[in-house]
A and B are shown apart, each in its own frame.
Chain A
Amino acid sequence: AQRVTQPEKLLSVFKGAPVELKCNYSYSGSPELFWYVQYSRQRLQLLLRHISRESIKGFTADLNKGETSFHLKKPFAQEEDSAMYYCALPPQGGATNKLIFGTGTLLAVQP
């Protein structure tokens, strides 16, 4: 069955340091993967999706099929990046395209 794993509950870095939020998945075939972000007291919002191959707020994520990973990276963390980050993908063969979320990683960027 499809699964999304975010092994780190908390990631604490200093401002200006590189960030890598890990996401591993299990899926047969080519999944469509997403990263969602939830800033303090705000709603969950889409950060980026792998098919668009774009960089949002300095974040990028590359789908590595060999390692079944979709890690989120940013070369220089900013304090405003502090938030909860969720990796997500649709279920295998799901007609409704609902999303399955990982458990999330709290990124804390220290000044």
Chain B
Amino acid sequence: GAVVSQHPSRVICKSGTSVKIECRSLDFQATTMFWYRQFPKKSLMLMATSNEGSKATYEQGVEKDKFLINHASLTLSTLTVTSAHPEDSSFYICSAREGGRTEAFFGQGTRLTVV
């Protein structure tokens, strides 16, 4: 089956620094990738959608300058949390979809803790 790998699985960073999270599709070409944020005991909140080679589309209320998304290739998308603050601490999940298909496959998630 299709595999999406997310790295790192856990990261702790100091307040004010930036953190990059990678999302890779290992055995298919991900024309579209999605970034979600999951709050404790709550659902996944879609942050943005990125199509390979174009700018990401952000959901309402998500700061695009704070959460930089790059989807430079068909197998890699990155989410950079800039100038991180403790309130950015969360579980970030990516998913990837191959062109022409509606099923999306999920990464294992990244637990970000900002101290």
Q: Which residues of A contact B (CB under 8 A)?
A: 9, 32, 34, 36, 42-46, 49, 86, 90, 96-104
Whether A104 touches B102, Cβ cut-off 8 Å, given contacts A42-B108, A97-B97, is: no
Q: Is there an interface contact between B103 and A45, defined as CB atoms closer than 8 Å?
A: no
Q: Are A100 and B46 in contact (CB under 8 A)?
A: yes
> Residues of B at under 8 Å CB distance from A?
4, 32, 34, 41-44, 46, 49, 51, 57, 93, 95, 97, 102-109
* Interchain CB contact (< 8 A) of A43 among B32, B97, B102, B108: B108
A86-B44, A96-B49, A98-B46 as given contacts; A43 in contact with B34, CB under 8 Å:
no
Task: Look across to chain A and name the residue whose beta carbon is closest to the beta carbon of B50.
Answer: A96
Which residues of A are found within 8 Å of B102, using beta-carbon distances?
A: 32, 90, 97
For this complex, 24 residue pairs linking A to B, each with C-beta atoms less than 8 Å apart, are A9-B41, A34-B103, A36-B106, A42-B108, A43-B4, A43-B107, A43-B108, A44-B44, A44-B93, A44-B95, A45-B105, A49-B103, A86-B43, A96-B51, A97-B32, A98-B34, A98-B46, A99-B104, A100-B46, A101-B44, A102-B43, A103-B42, A103-B43, A104-B42
Q: A99-B34, A99-B95, A104-B42 are in contact. List 13 more A-B contacts (CB 8 A).
A: A43-B107, A43-B108, A44-B106, A45-B106, A49-B103, A90-B102, A96-B51, A97-B102, A97-B104, A101-B43, A103-B42, A103-B43, A104-B43
Say which residue of A32, A49, A98, A102 sits within 8 Å of B49 (CB atoms): A98
* Most A C-beta atoms less than 10 A away, residue of B4, B41, B42: B41
Dominant secondary structure of chain A at its interface with chain B: loop
Closest residue of A by beta carbon distance from B2: A46
Which residues of chain A are within 8 angstroms of B46 by Cβ–Cβ distance? 98-100
A48 vs chain B, min Cβ distance (A): 11
- C-alpha spacing A9/B43, complex, angstroms: 10
Identity of the chain B residue whose Cβ is nearest the Cβ of A43 in the assembled complex: B108
